[in-house]
Amino acid sequence: MQNSSRQIKIGGMISYFTIAFSIIAGLIYTPWMISIIGQADFGLYTLATSLVTMVTIDLGLSAAVTRFVSKYKAQNDTHGISRFMGIAYKLFIGLAVIFLLLLTVMYFNVEHIFVKLNPDELGKVKVLLAVAGLYSVISFPFQPLDGLLFSGEWFIFHKITGLVHKVLNIVLMVGALIMGYGLYSLVVVNAGLGILLIIWKLYFLKKKDWTPINWKGFDSVLVKEIFSFSLWVMVISIAQRLILNITPSVLGMTSGSKEIAIFSAAMTIEGYVWTFATVFGSMFLPKVAQIIYKDDGGPEAIQELMIKVGRIQFIMLGAIVSIFLVAGKGFFLNWLGADFERSYLVAVFLILPGLLTIPQEIASTALVASNKVKFNAYSKIIIAAVSVVLSYLLSLRFGSTGAGFAIFIGNIVGGVIVMNIIYVRVLKINIWKFFKQCQVKMALPFILVVFIGLALNYFFPSISWTATIVKSVVLGLIYCFAAYFLALNNYEKDLVLGVIKRKIQ
């Protein structure tokens, strides 16, 4: 087992560097890419990839790998890991065959599903679906590799690999588009790099943390235990796909390719925000499993970790959201042009609920580690049901804006109200203490930046790139000073000073 604290800290720093690269590259690359392939083709690309993502559901087995291997490692049960992984790989291979059949059926029925698309657009979707779908089927049996890396706390390697993959992906896609290969090169490059990434992960695990896999037999008791956990994770996966990934398909049925593109641009920003704010959350499953299975920690230990991590997540997320609220409209107008102005409001709807849900990730992880993941599923089912129904109804009249508002309502009902009831009743978390220590005590910098930002917009209404960047930098500095002097406790201030000292040295 690795040095957990070091792996988390360095892995987190690499993650933030990766996110910064992704955002900067995306700001430059995405509008350039859209100018090369066109707004409609960008919508079709998003549609095809969302279809593949929606179909290739792993039934919760990826989460099961991380959860069970983390549990076995906390109990020093090497034999259990070998036995579990043998069964897991067999299940993944079986699912890959099923997904191939489903994608084949979808491929031959595209014209019956998306009646709003013209014949040329339908032909492009078919090609994109074929390439992206085939790659997903081939790569699917290797999904347990990430679970093994996380359960073994190899966060540094995992994050460096992700960074290299993103850099190469952008570089090769730019090269392919410059050489005139067009829309289809986007999925071809992604597939080729994805396969190379799988080979690299296999090599690393073989050298550093290889546990022999027991391919013999089929332990029905263990399979039942796996599925009693993964069934609910599967429900969560389906629900999550219904929340965001199915929305382009809904818009394809109700509004057309331009509304898909507007929503996709907003979804890109939401993805950046979510990734930035949840860097550390996924790394704490081994730690939470140790608290539950090895240290026999109670609700107090979970809540202490929840508050410590949640405060850090909220202060980071608050900086992004507060600045985006006052500078986001100018950002979209400069980034993608007037055709994407409505993407700003859609993005606001998508990211606002995260101020309440993302800082609570540790509690959600505790439900997973303690095999109470079904309660996470209840929440996601409610979010998905509300979001999908309202998305269809509202997008008929309001397009992508209606879909974004529908998802906002779904997240408030299921992600905030329902989940907090679950945390109180199931985990025995004092949720009011959490909100007081996290959102309430950390809210002043957020409020301050929003009010000052609105004042800047009133007195300096310019939305040029220069004005937007200057406003964002000024607001960012105000937020940093306000957070340090008005919100952070001594422990958090020491973390900030420690990072600054390391950078200077």
From residue 115, give the alpha-carbon distance in Å to each of 249, 252, 366.
Answer: 11, 8, 44
Summarised one tens digit per residue, pLDDT across range 294-339 is 555 567 777 888 888 888 888 888 998 999 999 988 888 888 888 8
List phi, psi (to 5°) of 67.
-65, -50
Is the pLDDT at 504 greater than 60, yes or no?
Answer: no
Alpha carbon dihedral 200, 282, 269, 345, in 10-degree steps, equals 160
Summarised one tens digit per residue, pLDDT across range 391-425 is 999 988 888 899 999 999 999 999 899 999 999 88
Higher local confidence (pLDDT), 269 or 227: 269
Range with top average pLDDT, 126-130, 173-177, 344-348: 344-348
Summarised one tens digit per residue, pLDDT across range 101-121 is 988 888 888 888 777 777 888
From residue 99, give the alpha-carbon distance in Å to each of 141, 244, 398, 459.
Answer: 11, 20, 34, 56
Amino acid at 80: G
How far, rounded to the nearest angstrom, does the alpha carbon of residue 265 sit from its chain's CA centroid? 15
First to last CA, the chain: 29
- Let me know: does 244 contact 106? Beta carbons within 8 Å: no
- Let me know: does 47 contact 235? Beta carbons within 8 Å: no
Q: Tell me what percent of the residues of the chain surpass a pLDDT of 70.
A: 87
Give the model's confidence band at 429: pLDDT under 50 very low, under 70 low, under 90 confident, else very high: confident
Summarised one tens digit per residue, pLDDT across range 199-224 is 998 888 888 766 777 777 666 777 77
Summarised one tens digit per residue, pLDDT across range 63-115 is 777 777 777 777 777 777 787 788 878 888 888 888 899 888 888 888 887 77
Predicted pLDDT at 478: 94
Give the domain ranges of the chain. 255-372+427-505
List phi, psi (to 5°) of 341.
-60, -40
Predicted pLDDT at 500: 60
Predicted pLDDT at 185: 84
Nearest of 121, 130, 115 to residue 49 by alpha carbon: 130
Cα angle: 113, vertex 177, 167; to 5 degrees: 100
- Let me know: does 183 contact 34? Beta carbons within 8 Å: no
Higher local confidence (pLDDT), 445 or 226: 445
How far, rounded to the nearest angstrom, does the alpha carbon of residue 383 sit from its chain's CA centroid? 16
Predicted pLDDT at 1: 46
Rounded Cα distance between 321 and 317, Å, is: 6
At 439, list the tokens: 């959102």
Round the average pLDDT of the chain to a whole number and report it. 81
